[in-house]
Amino acid sequence: MAITKRYTGLIENYRSRLPVSAATRIISLGEGNTPLIQLLNIPALIGKEVEIYVKYEGLNPTGSFKDRGMTMAVTKAVEDGSRAIICASTGNTSASAAAYAVRAGIKAFVLIPEGKIALGKLAQTLMYGAKIIQIRGNFDDGMALVKQVAEHAPVTIVNSINPFRLEGQKTAAFEIVDELGAAPDYHCLPVGNAGNITAYWKGYSEYAADSAGHPAVTDKRPVMCGYQALGASPFVQGKMVDNPETVATAIRIGHPQSWDLAWNVQKESGGWFDALGDEQILLAQKMLAQHEGIFCEPASAASLAGLLVDLESGKIPAGSRIVCTLTGNGLKDPDTAIGQCRDTHPVSIEASLDAVKKAILDSM
Protein backbone atom coordinates (compact mmCIF):
# COMPACT_ATOMS: atom_id res chain seq x y z
CA MET A 1 0.00 0.00 0.00
CA ALA A 2 1.22 3.51 -0.75
CA ILE A 3 2.36 5.66 2.14
CA THR A 4 0.09 8.70 2.07
CA LYS A 5 1.56 10.94 4.75
CA ARG A 6 5.05 10.68 6.07
CA TYR A 7 6.91 13.34 8.04
CA THR A 8 10.41 13.73 6.58
CA GLY A 9 11.79 16.63 8.55
CA LEU A 10 11.42 20.36 8.86
CA ILE A 11 13.14 21.33 5.61
CA GLU A 12 10.59 19.38 3.56
CA ASN A 13 7.82 20.70 5.78
CA TYR A 14 8.74 24.38 5.37
CA ARG A 15 10.59 24.16 2.09
CA SER A 16 9.25 27.42 0.63
CA ARG A 17 10.49 29.36 3.66
CA LEU A 18 14.01 27.93 3.70
CA PRO A 19 17.06 28.51 1.46
CA VAL A 20 16.95 25.22 -0.49
CA SER A 21 16.32 24.46 -4.14
CA ALA A 22 14.81 21.44 -5.87
CA ALA A 23 18.34 20.15 -6.46
CA THR A 24 19.47 20.41 -2.84
CA ARG A 25 20.31 17.09 -1.20
CA ILE A 26 18.60 17.34 2.16
CA ILE A 27 20.37 15.89 5.19
CA SER A 28 17.64 15.03 7.66
CA LEU A 29 16.91 12.73 10.59
CA GLY A 30 13.21 13.64 10.76
CA GLU A 31 13.76 16.57 13.13
CA GLY A 32 11.09 19.10 14.15
CA ASN A 33 7.36 18.55 14.54
CA THR A 34 7.87 18.36 18.31
CA PRO A 35 4.98 18.29 20.82
CA LEU A 36 3.48 21.50 22.15
CA ILE A 37 2.21 20.31 25.52
CA GLN A 38 -0.18 22.34 27.65
CA LEU A 39 0.70 22.34 31.34
CA LEU A 40 -2.30 21.06 33.27
CA ASN A 41 -1.15 21.03 36.89
CA ILE A 42 1.41 23.78 37.37
CA PRO A 43 -0.99 26.73 36.73
CA ALA A 44 -3.29 25.43 39.48
CA LEU A 45 -0.33 24.74 41.74
CA ILE A 46 0.82 28.36 41.51
CA GLY A 47 -2.75 29.68 41.60
CA LYS A 48 -2.60 31.53 38.27
CA GLU A 49 -5.15 31.70 35.49
CA VAL A 50 -2.76 31.29 32.59
CA GLU A 51 -2.39 29.09 29.56
CA ILE A 52 1.14 27.66 29.51
CA TYR A 53 2.47 25.43 26.75
CA VAL A 54 5.90 23.86 26.52
CA LYS A 55 7.55 23.20 23.18
CA TYR A 56 9.30 19.93 24.00
CA GLU A 57 12.42 20.05 21.85
CA GLY A 58 13.93 17.13 23.75
CA LEU A 59 12.09 14.88 21.31
CA ASN A 60 14.27 15.83 18.36
CA PRO A 61 16.47 13.03 16.96
CA THR A 62 19.50 13.83 19.14
CA GLY A 63 17.39 15.14 22.01
CA SER A 64 17.70 18.90 21.59
CA PHE A 65 16.58 21.86 19.48
CA LYS A 66 20.02 21.95 17.84
CA ASP A 67 18.81 19.40 15.28
CA ARG A 68 16.57 22.06 13.71
CA GLY A 69 19.57 24.20 12.95
CA MET A 70 21.87 21.32 12.15
CA THR A 71 19.73 19.81 9.38
CA MET A 72 19.92 23.17 7.61
CA ALA A 73 23.60 23.91 8.36
CA VAL A 74 24.82 20.46 7.29
CA THR A 75 22.56 20.43 4.22
CA LYS A 76 24.10 23.73 3.09
CA ALA A 77 27.66 22.71 4.03
CA VAL A 78 27.33 19.60 1.85
CA GLU A 79 25.72 21.60 -0.96
CA ASP A 80 28.72 23.95 -0.85
CA GLY A 81 31.10 20.99 -1.15
CA SER A 82 32.34 20.93 2.44
CA ARG A 83 33.85 17.63 3.67
CA ALA A 84 34.10 18.53 7.35
CA ILE A 85 32.27 20.56 9.99
CA ILE A 86 33.48 21.96 13.29
CA CYS A 87 31.90 23.46 16.38
CA ALA A 88 32.57 24.45 19.96
CA SER A 89 29.91 23.16 22.27
CA THR A 90 28.56 22.79 25.76
CA GLY A 91 27.35 19.38 24.57
CA ASN A 92 24.16 19.52 22.53
CA THR A 93 25.57 21.15 19.43
CA SER A 94 28.39 18.60 19.40
CA ALA A 95 25.96 15.66 19.61
CA SER A 96 23.81 17.11 16.85
CA ALA A 97 26.73 18.01 14.58
CA ALA A 98 28.18 14.54 15.05
CA ALA A 99 24.92 12.83 14.09
CA TYR A 100 24.22 14.94 11.01
CA ALA A 101 27.82 14.58 9.84
CA VAL A 102 27.42 10.80 9.93
CA ARG A 103 24.16 11.10 8.01
CA ALA A 104 25.89 13.23 5.36
CA GLY A 105 29.04 11.12 5.21
CA ILE A 106 31.36 13.93 6.26
CA LYS A 107 33.63 14.47 9.26
CA ALA A 108 32.80 16.32 12.49
CA PHE A 109 35.29 17.96 14.85
CA VAL A 110 33.96 19.18 18.19
CA LEU A 111 35.66 21.24 20.89
CA ILE A 112 34.18 20.74 24.34
CA PRO A 113 35.11 22.08 27.78
CA GLU A 114 36.75 19.25 29.67
CA GLY A 115 34.65 17.94 32.56
CA LYS A 116 31.81 20.37 31.93
CA ILE A 117 29.52 18.57 29.56
CA ALA A 118 26.66 16.35 30.67
CA LEU A 119 27.21 12.61 30.47
CA GLY A 120 24.45 11.84 27.94
CA LYS A 121 25.81 14.41 25.50
CA LEU A 122 29.30 12.96 25.75
CA ALA A 123 27.96 9.42 25.24
CA GLN A 124 26.11 10.50 22.10
CA THR A 125 29.02 12.35 20.58
CA LEU A 126 31.33 9.38 21.22
CA MET A 127 28.88 6.91 19.70
CA TYR A 128 28.34 9.00 16.56
CA GLY A 129 32.10 8.88 16.14
CA ALA A 130 32.97 12.57 16.00
CA LYS A 131 36.53 13.66 16.62
CA ILE A 132 36.23 15.05 20.15
CA ILE A 133 38.77 17.60 21.28
CA GLN A 134 38.47 18.39 24.98
CA ILE A 135 39.97 21.71 25.96
CA ARG A 136 41.07 22.92 29.36
CA GLY A 137 38.90 25.97 29.08
CA ASN A 138 35.24 26.92 28.76
CA PHE A 139 32.83 27.20 25.82
CA ASP A 140 33.90 30.77 25.09
CA ASP A 141 37.56 29.70 24.77
CA GLY A 142 36.48 26.88 22.46
CA MET A 143 34.44 29.21 20.29
CA ALA A 144 37.35 31.61 19.87
CA LEU A 145 39.59 28.70 18.83
CA VAL A 146 37.05 27.32 16.37
CA LYS A 147 36.83 30.70 14.63
CA GLN A 148 40.61 30.80 14.29
CA VAL A 149 40.92 27.21 13.06
CA ALA A 150 38.24 27.70 10.42
CA GLU A 151 40.35 30.46 8.88
CA HIS A 152 43.16 27.99 8.24
CA ALA A 153 41.42 24.67 7.60
CA PRO A 154 38.73 23.53 5.12
CA VAL A 155 36.01 23.10 7.73
CA THR A 156 32.56 24.68 8.00
CA ILE A 157 31.59 26.14 11.37
CA VAL A 158 28.18 24.86 12.46
CA ASN A 159 27.78 26.94 15.61
CA SER A 160 24.87 29.36 15.54
CA ILE A 161 27.08 32.05 13.98
CA ASN A 162 26.38 29.99 10.84
CA PRO A 163 23.27 31.78 9.52
CA PHE A 164 21.74 28.52 8.26
CA ARG A 165 21.47 27.33 11.86
CA LEU A 166 19.04 30.15 12.63
CA GLU A 167 17.12 29.47 9.41
CA GLY A 168 16.44 25.92 10.59
CA GLN A 169 15.66 26.93 14.16
CA LYS A 170 13.10 29.57 13.12
CA THR A 171 10.78 26.70 12.11
CA ALA A 172 9.93 26.08 15.78
CA ALA A 173 8.05 29.39 15.75
CA PHE A 174 6.23 28.34 12.56
CA GLU A 175 5.11 25.11 14.22
CA ILE A 176 3.79 26.98 17.26
CA VAL A 177 1.78 29.46 15.17
CA ASP A 178 0.49 26.66 12.94
CA GLU A 179 -0.71 24.78 16.00
CA LEU A 180 -2.12 27.63 18.11
CA GLY A 181 -3.49 29.57 15.14
CA ALA A 182 -1.61 32.68 16.29
CA ALA A 183 1.56 33.59 18.14
CA PRO A 184 1.35 33.40 21.96
CA ASP A 185 1.39 36.55 24.10
CA TYR A 186 4.78 35.68 25.64
CA HIS A 187 7.56 33.31 24.61
CA CYS A 188 10.06 32.26 27.29
CA LEU A 189 13.34 30.54 26.61
CA PRO A 190 16.78 29.90 28.04
CA VAL A 191 19.58 32.02 26.62
CA GLY A 192 23.22 31.06 26.13
CA ASN A 193 24.68 32.29 22.86
CA ALA A 194 21.24 33.75 22.09
CA GLY A 195 20.99 32.09 18.70
CA ASN A 196 17.70 30.41 19.53
CA ILE A 197 15.89 33.51 20.81
CA THR A 198 17.03 35.26 17.63
CA ALA A 199 15.80 32.38 15.47
CA TYR A 200 12.35 32.26 17.10
CA TRP A 201 11.93 35.99 16.61
CA LYS A 202 12.90 35.60 12.96
CA GLY A 203 10.30 32.85 12.56
CA TYR A 204 7.52 34.81 14.26
CA SER A 205 8.44 37.91 12.27
CA GLU A 206 8.44 36.13 8.90
CA TYR A 207 5.02 34.63 9.55
CA ALA A 208 3.66 37.97 10.78
CA ALA A 209 4.96 39.76 7.68
CA ASP A 210 3.25 37.19 5.51
CA SER A 211 -0.03 37.13 7.36
CA ALA A 212 -1.94 38.91 4.59
CA GLY A 213 -1.62 35.97 2.22
CA HIS A 214 -1.84 33.29 4.86
CA PRO A 215 -5.33 32.82 6.27
CA ALA A 216 -4.21 30.72 9.24
CA VAL A 217 -1.74 33.33 10.45
CA THR A 218 -2.08 36.73 12.12
CA ASP A 219 0.48 39.51 12.33
CA LYS A 220 0.80 39.06 16.08
CA ARG A 221 4.26 38.47 17.55
CA PRO A 222 5.02 37.54 21.15
CA VAL A 223 6.96 39.39 23.81
CA MET A 224 10.27 37.51 24.01
CA CYS A 225 11.59 36.69 27.50
CA GLY A 226 15.16 35.36 27.73
CA TYR A 227 16.38 33.69 30.91
CA GLN A 228 19.95 33.03 31.96
CA ALA A 229 21.64 31.41 34.93
CA LEU A 230 22.77 33.95 37.53
CA GLY A 231 26.42 32.88 37.24
CA ALA A 232 26.34 33.11 33.45
CA SER A 233 24.20 36.17 32.81
CA PRO A 234 25.92 38.59 30.43
CA PHE A 235 22.61 39.92 29.06
CA VAL A 236 21.38 40.74 32.56
CA GLN A 237 24.68 42.32 33.56
CA GLY A 238 24.91 44.18 30.27
CA LYS A 239 28.45 42.99 29.69
CA MET A 240 30.46 39.89 28.85
CA VAL A 241 31.25 37.55 31.76
CA ASP A 242 34.69 35.94 31.92
CA ASN A 243 34.24 32.95 34.19
CA PRO A 244 30.64 31.77 33.76
CA GLU A 245 29.45 29.12 36.22
CA THR A 246 26.16 27.25 36.54
CA VAL A 247 24.78 23.78 37.09
CA ALA A 248 22.96 24.28 33.78
CA THR A 249 26.11 23.48 31.80
CA ALA A 250 24.35 23.90 28.44
CA ILE A 251 24.14 27.66 29.07
CA ARG A 252 27.48 28.08 30.85
CA ILE A 253 28.42 30.86 28.42
CA GLY A 254 29.83 34.29 29.20
CA HIS A 255 30.48 35.69 25.72
CA PRO A 256 27.28 35.16 23.69
CA GLN A 257 27.81 35.00 19.95
CA SER A 258 24.48 36.62 18.99
CA TRP A 259 24.86 39.63 21.31
CA ASP A 260 23.59 42.41 19.01
CA LEU A 261 20.91 40.24 17.40
CA ALA A 262 19.45 39.31 20.78
CA TRP A 263 19.38 42.91 22.03
CA ASN A 264 17.49 43.72 18.89
CA VAL A 265 14.95 40.98 19.69
CA GLN A 266 14.52 42.39 23.18
CA LYS A 267 13.88 45.89 21.83
CA GLU A 268 11.62 44.93 18.94
CA SER A 269 9.49 42.53 20.97
CA GLY A 270 9.30 44.70 24.08
CA GLY A 271 10.79 41.80 26.02
CA TRP A 272 13.49 41.41 28.65
CA PHE A 273 16.32 39.27 30.01
CA ASP A 274 16.44 37.99 33.54
CA ALA A 275 18.59 35.59 35.56
CA LEU A 276 17.74 32.71 37.87
CA GLY A 277 19.74 31.01 40.59
CA ASP A 278 20.77 27.40 40.04
CA GLU A 279 18.33 26.31 42.80
CA GLN A 280 15.43 28.02 41.03
CA ILE A 281 16.36 26.31 37.76
CA LEU A 282 16.59 22.87 39.37
CA LEU A 283 13.31 23.42 41.21
CA ALA A 284 11.54 24.22 37.94
CA GLN A 285 13.10 21.13 36.33
CA LYS A 286 11.78 18.95 39.15
CA MET A 287 8.38 20.64 39.06
CA LEU A 288 7.96 19.79 35.37
CA ALA A 289 8.94 16.18 35.99
CA GLN A 290 6.89 15.65 39.13
CA HIS A 291 3.76 17.64 38.30
CA GLU A 292 3.53 17.28 34.52
CA GLY A 293 5.54 14.16 33.63
CA ILE A 294 7.91 16.19 31.44
CA PHE A 295 11.65 15.63 31.82
CA CYS A 296 13.91 18.34 30.43
CA GLU A 297 17.53 19.16 31.08
CA PRO A 298 18.43 21.87 33.64
CA ALA A 299 19.13 24.66 31.12
CA SER A 300 15.73 24.11 29.52
CA ALA A 301 13.97 24.59 32.85
CA ALA A 302 15.32 28.15 33.06
CA SER A 303 12.42 29.11 30.78
CA LEU A 304 9.80 27.93 33.27
CA ALA A 305 11.81 29.17 36.26
CA GLY A 306 11.85 32.65 34.72
CA LEU A 307 8.18 32.51 33.82
CA LEU A 308 7.23 31.58 37.40
CA VAL A 309 9.09 34.63 38.73
CA ASP A 310 7.49 36.95 36.18
CA LEU A 311 4.00 35.55 36.82
CA GLU A 312 4.47 36.00 40.55
CA SER A 313 5.50 39.65 40.15
CA GLY A 314 2.70 40.32 37.67
CA LYS A 315 5.16 41.31 34.94
CA ILE A 316 3.43 38.59 32.89
CA PRO A 317 -0.25 39.12 33.67
CA ALA A 318 -3.03 36.62 34.39
CA GLY A 319 -4.97 35.62 31.29
CA SER A 320 -1.83 35.37 29.16
CA ARG A 321 -1.04 32.60 26.74
CA ILE A 322 2.62 31.62 27.11
CA VAL A 323 4.97 29.20 25.37
CA CYS A 324 8.17 28.00 27.08
CA THR A 325 10.77 26.23 24.97
CA LEU A 326 12.19 23.15 26.67
CA THR A 327 15.40 22.99 24.67
CA GLY A 328 16.78 19.57 25.64
CA ASN A 329 15.81 16.15 26.98
CA GLY A 330 16.29 15.38 30.67
CA LEU A 331 18.15 12.17 29.78
CA LYS A 332 21.03 14.31 28.57
CA ASP A 333 22.15 14.96 32.13
CA PRO A 334 21.50 11.92 34.33
CA ASP A 335 24.03 12.98 36.98
CA THR A 336 22.24 16.21 37.83
CA ALA A 337 18.86 14.45 37.82
CA ILE A 338 19.95 11.70 40.18
CA GLY A 339 21.77 14.22 42.35
CA GLN A 340 18.49 16.10 42.74
CA CYS A 341 16.64 13.04 44.00
CA ARG A 342 18.95 11.92 46.81
CA ASP A 343 16.08 11.95 49.30
CA THR A 344 14.05 9.56 47.13
CA HIS A 345 16.78 7.05 46.30
CA PRO A 346 15.33 3.61 45.60
CA VAL A 347 14.87 1.35 48.63
CA SER A 348 16.71 -1.96 48.57
CA ILE A 349 14.89 -5.04 49.89
CA GLU A 350 14.91 -8.84 49.76
CA ALA A 351 13.27 -10.35 46.65
CA SER A 352 10.28 -11.67 48.60
CA LEU A 353 6.55 -10.98 48.50
CA ASP A 354 6.48 -9.91 52.14
CA ALA A 355 9.28 -7.44 51.68
CA VAL A 356 7.65 -5.94 48.56
CA LYS A 357 4.28 -5.68 50.34
CA LYS A 358 5.93 -3.94 53.28
CA ALA A 359 7.76 -1.52 51.00
CA ILE A 360 4.50 -0.58 49.27
CA LEU A 361 2.50 -0.22 52.50
CA ASP A 362 5.29 1.87 54.06
CA SER A 363 5.01 4.44 51.32
CA MET A 364 1.18 4.63 51.08
Distance between CA 23 and CA 210 in Å, rounded?
26
In the complex, minimum distance from the CB of residue 64 to ligand F0G, in angstroms, rounded to a whole number = 5
Cα-atom radius of gyration of the chain, to the nearest Å? 21
Q: Chain centroid to CA 196: how far?
A: 7
Residue 171 sits in the site that holds ligand F0G (CB under 6 A): no
**Phi-psi group of 345: left, alpha or beta (phi > 0 → left; psi -120 to 50 → alpha; rest → beta):** beta
Q: Which is nearer to ligand F0G, 91 or 203 (CB)?
A: 91
Burial of 254 (0-12, 13-18, 19+ CB in 10 A): buried
In the complex, minimum distance from the CB of residue 310 to ligand F0G, in angstroms, rounded to a whole number = 18
Residue 60 sits in the site that holds ligand F0G (CB under 6 A): no
Distance between CA 96 and CA 32 in Å, rounded?
13
In the complex, minimum distance from the CB of residue 282 to ligand F0G, in angstroms, rounded to a whole number = 14
Q: Which is nearer to ligand F0G, 75 or 89 (CB)?
A: 89
Residue 192 sits in the site that holds ligand F0G (CB under 6 A): yes
Pair 99, 62: CB distance under 8 Å: yes
Exactly one of 61, 91, 120, 254 binds ligand F0G (CB under 6 A); which one?
91
Residue 329 sits in the site that holds ligand F0G (CB under 6 A): no
Q: Interacting stretch for ligand F0G, rule CB under 6 A, among 148-156, 186-194, 235-243, 348-356?
A: 186-194
Exactly one of 32, 244, 306, 328 binds ligand F0G (CB under 6 A); which one?
328
Q: Which of 157, 188, 6 is nearest to 77 (CA)?
A: 157
In the complex, minimum distance from the CB of residue 308 to ligand F0G, in angstroms, rounded to a whole number = 18
Q: Which amino acid is at 4?
A: T
Helix-helix angle 92-104:66-79, to 10 degrees: 40
Residue 90 sits in the site that holds ligand F0G (CB under 6 A): yes
Q: Which is nearer to ligand F0G, 52 or 232 (CB)?
A: 232
Q: Which amino acid is at 343?
A: D
Residue 64 sits in the site that holds ligand F0G (CB under 6 A): yes
The residues in 246-305 that bind ligand F0G, with binding defined as CB under 6 A, are 250-251, 297, 299-300
Q: Which is nearer to ligand F0G, 91 or 182 (CB)?
A: 91
Q: Which is nearer to ligand F0G, 194 or 311 (CB)?
A: 194
Listing DSSP states for 192-247 in one string gives: SSSHHHHHHHHHHHHHHHTGGG-TT--S--PEEEEEEETTB-HHHHTS--SS---S
> Do you know the residue count of the chain?
364
Distance between CA 13 and CA 71 in Å, rounded?
12
Binding mask 196-235 for ligand F0G (x = CB under 6 A): x---------------------------------------
The residues in 26-45 that bind ligand F0G, with binding defined as CB under 6 A, are none
Q: Which is nearer to ligand F0G, 31 or 217 (CB)?
A: 31
Q: Interacting stretch for ligand F0G, rule CB under 6 A, among 127-135, 184-192, 208-216, 238-246?
A: 184-192
Q: Which of 277, 289, 291 is nearest to 333 (CA)?
A: 289
The residues in 132-151 that bind ligand F0G, with binding defined as CB under 6 A, are none
The residues in 116-135 that bind ligand F0G, with binding defined as CB under 6 A, are none
Q: Which is nearer to ligand F0G, 8 or 243 (CB)?
A: 243
Q: Which is nearer to ligand F0G, 126 or 355 (CB)?
A: 126
Residue 78 sits in the site that holds ligand F0G (CB under 6 A): no
Q: Give SS3 for 190.
A: strand
DSSP state of 51: E
Q: Which is nearer to ligand F0G, 208 or 299 (CB)?
A: 299
Written in H, E and C, the secondary structure of 244-273 is: CCCCCHHHCCCCCCCHHHHHHHHHHHCCEE
Q: Which residues bind ligand F0G (CB under 6 A)?
A: 64, 66, 89-93, 160, 190-196, 250-251, 297, 299-300, 327-328
